[in-house]
Structure formats: C-alpha cells, structure tokens
Amino acid sequence: MYIFGNQVKGGFHGEHPSLSVLDQGDLIMTTDFRSVYGSMIQEWMDVQDVGSVLGGDFARLSLIG
C-alpha cells in the first residue's frame, strides 16, 4: 500500500514479509490494512474513536508528521 502527500512520514512502515515462509506460495501479510486506515482516520481526520468506525481496535502506525 502506498500513501503519499506533504504530511506523510516517508519510509517503510511495518515489517518486511519473509520470502521463505509462505502461505500456499504467497507472502504472509505483516501489516493489517485496518491499521493503516485507523492511523489515517485518527491522525489525518482527527477522529479519536477509531474503533467504532472500523469495528474493532487495531494497532496504529505513525504515518503523519
């Protein structure tokens, strides 16, 4: 997933997936997309109750600087 803009902190966020441990030949996900969405909703849109929007609480990434 790519996120870009003037306020986005550059770099790689999350963990690199293993190239040797696969799930039926596919890479195993290391960052849940809901963590990215939750971070954007909270940091960019300033919504504090992100759990009610996403239907659960997910880890946050520091994406906006």
Q: What is the pLDDT of residue 6?
A: 93
Q: What is the pLDDT of residue 57?
A: 93
The residues with which 23 forms a beta bridge, in sequence order, are 26
For the chain, the DSSP string reads ----STTBPPS--S-PPPSSSEETTEEPP-S-HHHHHHHHHHHTT--S-HHHHHTS-------B-
In a domain, 65, yes or no: yes
Number of domains in the chain: 1
Q: What is the pLDDT of residue 1?
A: 86
In a domain, 61, yes or no: yes
Res 36 pLDDT > 90: yes
Write the pLDDT tens digit of every residue in 37-56: 999 999 999 999 999 999 99
Write the pLDDT tens digit of every residue in 10-29: 888 889 999 999 999 999 99
Domain that holds residue 35: 30-65
Distance CA 65, CA 54 (A): 23
Distance CA 13, CA 31 (A): 9
